[in-house]
Amino acid sequence: MLDKIEQIVKNFNSEIENATQKDIFEEIRNKYFSRKGLIAELFEDLKQLSKDEKPKYGQLLNQTKNELNAIFEKYLENYSSKNLESSFNLDLTLPSKKKNLGTKHILNQTLLEIKDIFKGLGFSIYDGPELESDYYNFEALNFPKDHPARDMQDTFFVNKNFLLRTHTSPVQARLMQSTKPPIRAIIPGKVYRNEAISAKSYCLFHQVEGLFIDKDVTFAELTGTLIYFAKQYFGENVKYRFRPSFFPFTEPSSEVDIWWQPKGKTGRWLEILGCGMVDPNVLEFNGIDSEEYTGYAFGLGIERMTMLKYGIDDIRIFFDNDKRFLKQF
C-alpha cells in the first residue's frame, strides 16, 4: 500500500511540474482527484487492509490527498496569473491598428442622391433586365426596323433578337404595357454601348430615366420638374437652359444644359440630360390612349452628373478601383 502511495505521489509531481496548458491541468485533476481517480482507488484499497492497518493508511491517504490538492491549486494559480499578465502586456499609449472600412462607391452615392430627389417628388423606382429584346429596346419605343435612328446607338447584339440594352427606356415600355396610368417612375440601371473607350466615353455606364403619364400632363410640368432637380443637385444658383433636340420616342424633345465654370478655366454650357413629351405613337404602341393621356420622359447619365459635380475629367477612373481616388469620397 505504501509503495502505491509513493508511486502516485511521484507521478503526480512529475506531471504537475510539466503542465503548460489549461487542458493538461484538467486532465491531471480528473486523473487524480475525480470520484474514479487514482486517489479514490487507493481509498477503495483500504477495505482490503486489516483493522490495525486501516487507521494508519487512512490517515496517510487523507494527508497525501490534501498535500497533492494544495500543490495542484498552487501550480494552477501560477499558470493562470502568468497568462493573465501576458494578456494585459500592452502599451496603451501606442496608436491602435487602423481599420479600413468600406464605403459606397461615388457612383452609388450619386445614384442615391438622385433617387432621393425624385422620390421626394412622388416618383417610384423600377428596374428591368439588362439583356433585352430588340422589341423592347427599339421597336416599342418608335424605332422601326432599319430606321436610321437606330444608328444613334452602337449596340452590343447577342443574336438577331437580343442585345445588351442601350438605355433603360425598355422598362418604360414594359411599364406602359403592364400598368394603367397614372405612371410616375424613375428607372436606374446599367446600359451598354459599343463605343471607343476614352476620357469621355465608356462601353458601360449608368442611367436614370424618368416617366410620367397622366391626364393633361404638360411640357411646363416637365421643365418645372427638371429645374427643381437641377437646383437640388447642383445648388440654387445653377444656370441652366433648354434647347431643342431629337429623340425617336419623344416629341417635342429637348436637352438641358448647365453653365460649367471650373476654377481657372473658361466656362461653357454642358449637357446634363435629354427629355421630351412622350410621342403619341409610343403611347398607342404600348396600349395607352394618346387622346386621353399625355406624358413626359427624361434620361440622364450618372457618370456625367458625378463628373460635373466633383470636377472629375476622366470617366475611366470610375472603373479602375483605385483606392487613392475612391477614398476621396
| Residue 202 pLDDT class (50, 70, 90 cuts) | confident
Cα 296–Cα 211–Cα 301 angle in degrees, nearest 5 = 100
CA atoms within 13 A on the CB side of 119: 9
| Residue 279 pLDDT class (50, 70, 90 cuts) | very high
Across residues 109-124, what is the average pLDDT?
95
Q: Is 152 or 297 the better-scoring residue by pLDDT? A: 297
Q: pLDDT digits over 208-250, tens only?
A: 999 999 999 999 999 999 999 999 999 999 999 999 999 889 9
| Residue 55 pLDDT class (50, 70, 90 cuts) | confident
Give the span between the Cα atoms of 247 and 255, in whole angstroms.
10
Across residues 296-311, what is the average pLDDT?
92
Q: Are 256 and 230 in contact (CB under 8 A)?
A: yes
Percent of the chain predicted with pLDDT > 70: 95
Q: What is the pLDDT of residue 83?
A: 67
Across residues 12-38, what is the average pLDDT?
84
Q: Are 242 and 224 in contact (CB under 8 A)?
A: no
| Residue 254 pLDDT class (50, 70, 90 cuts) | very high
Averaged pLDDT of the chain: 87
Q: Is the pLDDT of residue 184 over 90?
A: yes
Q: pLDDT digits over 75-111, tens only?
A: 888 877 776 555 555 667 878 777 777 788 999 999 9
Contacts of 86 (CB under 8 A, 6+ apart): none
Across residues 304-328, what is the average pLDDT?
88
Q: First CA to last CA across the chain, in angstroms?
A: 81
Cell 452609388 belongs to residue: 108
Which residues are 268's β-sheet partners? 260
Q: Is 101 or 28 the better-scoring residue by pLDDT? A: 28
| Residue 18 pLDDT class (50, 70, 90 cuts) | confident
Q: pLDDT digits over 154-166, tens only?
A: 888 898 889 999 9
Record the cell numbers describing residue 318, joined without a space.
Answer: 470610375
CA atoms within 13 A on the CB side of 159: 1
Across residues 308-325, what is the average pLDDT?
88
Q: What is the pLDDT of residue 19?
A: 82
Give the span between the Cα atoms of 266 and 280, in whole angstroms.
41
Give the span between the Cα atoms of 251 and 248, in whole angstroms.
8
Q: Is the pLDDT of residue 47 over 60?
A: yes
| 49: phi then psi, degrees, rounded to nearest 5 | -85, 160
Residues in the chain: 329
Among 291, 310, 293, CA closest to 302: 310
Give the span between the Cα atoms of 300 and 126, in whole angstroms.
16
Where in the chain does DSSP place strands (E)?
124-125, 131-133, 162-164, 183-192, 204-214, 240-247, 250-260, 268-278, 294-301
Across residues 168-182, what is the average pLDDT?
94
Give the span between the Cα atoms of 283 and 302, in whole angstroms.
27
Record the cell numbers describing residue 22, joined without a space.
Answer: 489549461
Give the span between the Cα atoms of 220 and 277, in whole angstroms.
10
